[in-house]
Copies of this chain bind each other. A is one copy, B any other.
């Protein structure tokens, strides 16, 4: 899959096996992943520090974005419209209390909120917790 190398090249990153593996893990498992998830999957091959740094690099380059959670941080692939300069993440995250998976609902946008005067919103982050279709 040279798709991976292409993605890295677009973001001016050297292709290394660690970056390819992390990226393909995000692509294969479609849900949001924590560092621990990645370490569980790739930890035998790469040092934890390298995985941390890969996540940080991907964040800075706009390849992944943070997903808030009531217990620790997760990361998910950005949609194609994201870049280092500009992120677009007004979609909703759904965390299933049964299976524990967190997924982006890419098609759903966060509804507009009427804030009081003086508030200047920049980023929106909506986490919905409940039961997902798979666990229903």
Contact = CB atoms under 8 A, between A and B. Distances in A.
Contacts of A122: 97, 129-131
Contact of A111 (B94, B111, B115, B119): B111
Contacts of A118: 132-133, 136
Interface in A94-115: 94, 97, 105, 108, 110-115
Interface in A114-136: 114-133, 136
Contacts of A115: 94, 105, 108, 128
11 contacts: A68-B125, A108-B115, A113-B128, A116-B133, A119-B133, A120-B130, A120-B136, A121-B128, A123-B128, A124-B126, A125-B126
